[in-house]
Structure 1
């Protein structure tokens, strides 16, 4: 069968050890190789014997493969999907990546790749790029500048530095942008306001500064189906191999799957697998104070902004309240100040709102109680004051941890009353004597120290004794004449004289 084998699928087993290079000589017609979630180690065997027009799908993710990225990969110009994530590959990403002109899905996440991204001149077909958790460094090169199809760009948890370049704001189809945990600095990229299809933005744990632009509110952050498209891998490979011969069969199987015939068991399991083998786009995103993996329809529903742990300053633009479709907003651990916008009451779909660890002041708007979808809310460690919103709807579920670190806030669930009257008598009796006693003791100790110091100095030094004696004598004489002069000016004193 080896001469005609198109698909090799060993996914999700417990296979281990090294793969013998000899096996590749027998599988020169393979279109898809799937070794995901096993325990293979060593280097990937050389599949260069496979025709460069045949191999379109390679997934060896979640194994223990090591070494540098194999050079034979870059000659497979018809490669459509390449997933080498969660392994131990090291070294740089070579310029040969630019040869894969048909590549749509690239995942090299969770390896030890270093260096900078290669800049390709024609990345028109690249749709999803996942490079998180590597050791990529330096400024962000124009690797995907000019791409008209990029939907997902995940460069989280690397060591990228410098400003976020302007070309990122020119990607017309970009829906998911994840740049978390790098070393990006400079102001918030104003060109992001041109990303009309953006639905997920994560710039957290960087060194961005400056003000939040109001134009960010012009983006809708609507959920986008583009970001979770599934790939019918097996169908694609088989259709490419046999051309139009399978067109009618493929359509028939699709129709049967979506009909009652499938539930009645009329299709053999092999045919169901033939039609239904699909790969999903997945990302990691932190919301509700937890990190989750989103894929499929869950990813479709997610729309969120995370700008936490930066150095952003200024006031929160009230226009951000126009992001009515957003599910999560995290601005915590910055230097934002000013009031909390009452326009946030328009965030009807928001499930997580975190504004903690800033310098916000004023009252918490009572209108926020209208946010009935809110599950996580935190304004802890700010300078907010006044009574808390009424404990109704979702605000009845938030405990004091949502408000801690604001000493001027009052009302339930805090153990501080909002009464503005004078302190009670019992409070005065309880705290007054203790405070006054400490004051008396401190005065007595201070005067005692001064008196003893004076006595010691006068006893030891004769010069200062004489100075002190003459000073007292002069003061006594001056006081005497002053008192006598005052008495002479009194009328009764003159009559007696």
Structure 2
């Protein structure tokens, strides 16, 4: 049913005792004149779309009302004090609404018949004192799940002793005992507790072992995200009913008790992640044969994983051992992680070694997430890894030592969403069997893959969002078929040997946000059509943050409660598995940054650096107004810097260094108010640099160095030289008639003498060093002397003969 609630003919139901209209689509406000139904004992309008404030004046007339359930609606405003008239009320559930204001302690104090109260997920503020429940001897269930940081609950001031024995206490994220940060002392008096959740409250102290000892029927204990410290010790007995235990995100240390598995044999959920536990993992943990989730991640455990755990815990749905110091070959024959129940297996950041098992898992395996990254695994990737795991949607094998070819089956699996094989020793990429199908995120960075990109692979990659093949040995041209990747948002091809011109088909990637073609051998000009690329903000819904793998989103904790509406607590919520967040590295602002999750959603950039690109910078690039990073450095670009770059209003990093650009730096660039990094170093730019205003006031000399014709601050070279020396005397008009060859006689004489001396010394040194040349020189001089003597003697003799005759 749907539509507004109608008050028509409600007066005809004066004898009505139970009104249950839950789970419909009713809208509007709570119908008036409900007070005329004086015989009502129970009202349930939960899971509708009712809004507005409560007509408490009418509700206050229902003196016989025992149960009021208005949960999961859109009621707002404050709780009216008139609710305190409902003195017969046993159940009050106003959870999942928008009530605000301070929670009246006096109103709660008057409802002494209460057995069940749930005010979770509202917008209450201020301070609420738990002493308001001092006289509630029938109270069994208290649920105050906080949704903001303005609602505080104080249990210690003033001092009081409870008259009730609770079954359920749920007080997460409500600034519990903010002043003292102590566990509520009234819990010392409780002996019938079955469910306790005081997580996310910054409580201090040691592990409350007394809470388990005093409450032998305790099934669930949640101490997550507090400041508890010291060693963790369970009582020797009294733990047989405990099935759900979470004390993750605290400061516990030391080793786990050797017989922990025997103390809590019926445990189904154990989360002790984000602590400081160390040492070996006790083998008795394998005695918890009913375990469905085991999370030991982010501790300091070492040694090998007990085979008893791997062999006996066949009901595991989630197994997380990441970020420890486990070593050894975990994938042994005793490891039955391919059973029908396991859905999540995380082993990343350990010291595991060995090869993946050769056994073929059963076709009934439901494994959805496999993460073995950052370990020491080696060998070939077995073909069955994907062929038999039909539900595997996330695979991370990065940062290992896998080698050989990528199996055909690993690319043909239809269930894949995320696959990371980066930083291994993989060498094969077969064009004949590469079909990406519905893979959305593919990471192959840092391998030894060679050859050209197979054209066939892109014809089936309509769903591809992220393609990272950086730092391999790919060569050849980028195939035009890449243009069919209409959903591609991140394209990372840097650090390869791609050559040829950048294909215009890349301009078809309308949804691209980050493109990195740097450190290749691309030549030719920058495509003018790049202005068609949007570089818009990435919408996380499009696939950069994937949905989590299905796990137990509710926990079946049966806590009986006698209710007219048959209330129970089988739907106790537990924390959901963290969604897979895609992360990439991208160089900007001279550094390599890692962008992940929501930060990645906001990032956009184009990197064409370290190539052989020529020609001018297309002015059309100025139309990429959403872009945050643009890097064209280390190319052979010529021409001027386009004035249109002043339209890149969101730009944070612009690097045009190490090119052959000329002309003037556009002064309009000072309008780029978000620019943090700017470099035009080592070009042929000239004239004055932009004024040191706004962001340009932060750029130093290094942003402009290597341009000898640039001037102005922050450079030392001034654009105008003012001669402050006295005027020179007027020279004679004859000076204008001096010839270019007129030389100062003193300068000429000095230069000539020095040159002659240097020549003479040089010849003397050569003759002194080389005896052969010295002998030849002396012979030459002697011959010349004899020739001159004979010549003179002959001439004189002829002259005397002529005179005599």
Range into which the TM-score falls when normalised by the shorter chain: 0.7 to 0.9
Query: SS at the partner of 1:97?
Result: helix
In structure 2, what is the equivalent of residue 326 of structure 1?
A: 627
Cα-to-partner distance string for 1:320-356 (whole Å, 9 max, x where unaligned)? 1111110000000000011111111111101000000
Cα distance between partner residues in 1 of 2:723 and 2:623? 42
Cα distance between partner residues in 1 of 2:587 and 2:747? 50
Cα distance between partner residues in 2 of 1:153 and 1:92? 19
Aligned ranges 1:84-483 → 2 under 5 Å? 84-120=397-433, 122-142=435-455, 143-226=457-540, 229-235=544-550, 271-273=573-575, 275-419=576-720, 445-446=754-755, 462=784
Task: From the superposition, tell whether residues 267 and 132 of structure 1 become closer, same or farther in structure 2 (CA, over 3 Å).
Answer: farther
Task: From the superposition, tell whether residues 82 and 322 of structure 1 become closer, same or farther in structure 2 (CA, over 3 Å).
Answer: same
Query: SS at the partner of 1:359?
Result: coil
Cα distance between partner residues in 1 of 2:750 and 2:539? 73
Deviates more, 1:298-307 or 1:134-143: 134-143
Cα distance between partner residues in 1 of 2:447 and 2:337? 34
Cα distance between partner residues in 2 of 1:364 and 1:445? 49
In structure 1, what is the equivalent of residue 351 of structure 2?
A: 39
- How far has the Cα of 1:164 moved from its partner? 1.0
- How far has the Cα of 1:64 moved from its partner? 1.3
Query: SS at the partner of 1:74?
Result: helix
Q: Work out whether residues 630 and 654 of structure 2, in 8 Å CA contact, stay in contact via their aligned partners in 1.
A: yes
- How far has the Cα of 1:8 moved from its partner? 1.9
Deviates more, 1:87-96 or 1:15-24: 15-24
Cα distance between partner residues in 2 of 1:438 and 1:222? 71
Task: From the superposition, tell whether residues 53 and 368 of structure 1 become closer, same or farther in structure 2 (CA, over 3 Å).
Answer: same
Task: From the superposition, tell whether residues 407 and 21 of structure 1 become closer, same or farther in structure 2 (CA, over 3 Å).
Answer: same
Task: From the superposition, tell whether residues 445 and 214 of structure 1 become closer, same or farther in structure 2 (CA, over 3 Å).
Answer: farther
Task: From the superposition, tell whether residues 212 and 446 of structure 1 become closer, same or farther in structure 2 (CA, over 3 Å).
Answer: farther
Segments of structure 1 that go 5 or more residues without pairing to the other structure are 239-245, 251-265, 427-435, 470-497
Q: Work out whether residues 24 and 46 of structure 1, in 8 Å CA contact, stay in contact via their aligned partners in 2.
A: no
Which entry has the higher C-alpha Rg, 1 or 2? 2
2:381 to 35, 53, 69: 69
Task: From the superposition, tell whether residues 343 and 22 of structure 1 become closer, same or farther in structure 2 (CA, over 3 Å).
Answer: same
- Bigger helix share: 1
Cα-to-partner distance string for 1:39-58 (whole Å, 9 max, x where unaligned)? 21111345633435522221
Cα distance between partner residues in 2 of 1:297 and 1:9? 24
Cα-to-partner distance string for 1:197-225 (whole Å, 9 max, x where unaligned)? 11101011001000111111121111212
When normalised by structure 1's length, the TM-score is 0.79
Cα-to-partner distance string for 1:357-411 (whole Å, 9 max, x where unaligned)? 0011111111010011000000011111111111000000000010111111111
- How far has the Cα of 1:421 moved from its partner? 5.8
Cα distance between partner residues in 2 of 1:267 and 1:403? 68
Q: Work out whether residues 115 and 138 of structure 1, in 8 Å CA contact, stay in contact via their aligned partners in 2.
A: no
1:28 to 336, 339, 352: 339
Task: From the superposition, tell whether residues 460 and 446 of structure 1 become closer, same or farther in structure 2 (CA, over 3 Å).
Answer: farther
- How far has the Cα of 1:121 moved from its partner? 6.5
Deviates more, 1:202-211 or 1:97-106: 97-106
Task: From the superposition, tell whether residues 209 and 271 of structure 1 become closer, same or farther in structure 2 (CA, over 3 Å).
Answer: same
- How far has the Cα of 1:31 moved from its partner? 2.2
* Number of residue-to-residue matches in the alignment: 432
In structure 1, what is the equivalent of residue 329 of structure 2?
A: 18
Cα distance between partner residues in 2 of 1:56 and 1:18? 22
Segments of structure 2 that go 5 or more residues without pairing to the other structure are 1-289, 291-312, 556-568, 728-743, 764-776, 792-805
